């Protein structure tokens, strides 16, 4: 079986993907140290494609997470180390075309080369089949990491942390009430009170939306609970 046949077979097995233009994928797995077209341009494109697909997944998976939390999760998911481990687990290194120097020094195992090749593969998927095809293939590829992904407690918003804390203690959920709404329609200020009767904790906070005010009030209640003996 020649390299092209091996690559086509790998794409079918690993991604359930049938390429229209196999040349794109051959280029995606050709390092710049080798002769001919290499994967640097596809890597550039693939980085953006991978970022978009993972951002959309996280946006839908964690509807209450803020921008900072989502960014940290995405960075963790598509870090060079994570991508290299994923590529190694799929034996992607065996399909790489490297120059003599990289071959001699074991470049097919190098973390940066594996991660770059995986990003280039994302770019090839996008060019060959469009965004929908790339999303389907990448979600299959990233399935184990996506399924294991959870929002760390320190990244969760205050309302979620407060709710989980009370549930863990078998206590009723907090009650939120809107005390007032002031200002013009385009610049309203909401004043909200969060109360946990069973722990005699209560706090009031303001925000430019009801949700932001509730989050701020929940954060103050958490501070009260954490300092209680």
Query: Residue 209 carries which DSSP code?
Result: S
Residues in CB range of 185: below 8 A, 6 or more apart: none
**d(C-alpha 122, C-alpha 53), whole Å:** 10
Given the residues 43, 47, 128, 157, the one annotated as active site: 47
In contact, 87 and 115? CB cutoff 8 Å: yes
Given the residues 26, 43, 119, 128, the one annotated as active site: 119
User: Concatenated DSSP letters for 70-133?
Assistant: HHHHHHHHT-HHHHHHHHHHTTGGGG-B--HHHHHTTGGG-HHHHHHHHHHHHHHHHHHHHHHH
Q: Tell me whether residue 119 is one of the annotated catalytic residues.
A: yes
Q: Tell me whether residue 47 is one of the annotated catalytic residues.
A: yes
**d(C-alpha 135, C-alpha 129), whole Å:** 10
Burial of 98 per CB tally in 10 Å (0-12, 13-18, 19+)? buried
Enumerate the active-site residues. Answer: 47, 119
């Amino acid at each position: 079986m020649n390299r092209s046949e091996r690559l086509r077979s790998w794409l079918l097995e690993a991604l359930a993907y049938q390429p229209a233009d196999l040349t794109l994928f051959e280029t995606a797995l050709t390092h710049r140290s080798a002769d001919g077209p290499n994967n640097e341009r596809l890597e550039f494109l693939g980085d953006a494609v991978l970022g978009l697909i993972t951002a959309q997944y996280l946006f839908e998976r964690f509807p209450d997470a803020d921008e900072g939390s989502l960014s940290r999760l995405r960075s963790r998911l598509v870090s060079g180390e994570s991508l290299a481990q994923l590529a190694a687990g799929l034996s992607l290194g065996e399909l790489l075309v490297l120059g003599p120097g990289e071959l001699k020094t074991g470049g097919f195992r190098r973390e940066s080369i594996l991660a770059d090749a995986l990003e280039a593969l994302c770019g090839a998927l996008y060019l060959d089949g469009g965004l929908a095809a790339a999303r389907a293939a990448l979600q299959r590829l990233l399935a184990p990491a996506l399924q294991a992904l959870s929002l760390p407690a320190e990244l969760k918003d205050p309302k979620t942390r407060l709710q989980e804390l009370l549930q863990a203690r078998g206590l009723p959920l907090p009650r939120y009430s809107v005390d007032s709404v002031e200002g013009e329609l385009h610049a309203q200020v909401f004043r909200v009170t969060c109360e946990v009767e069973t722990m005699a904790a209560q706090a009031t906070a303001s925000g430019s939306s009801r949700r932001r005010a509730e989050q701020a009030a929940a954060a103050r209640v958490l501070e009260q609970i954490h300092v209680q003996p």
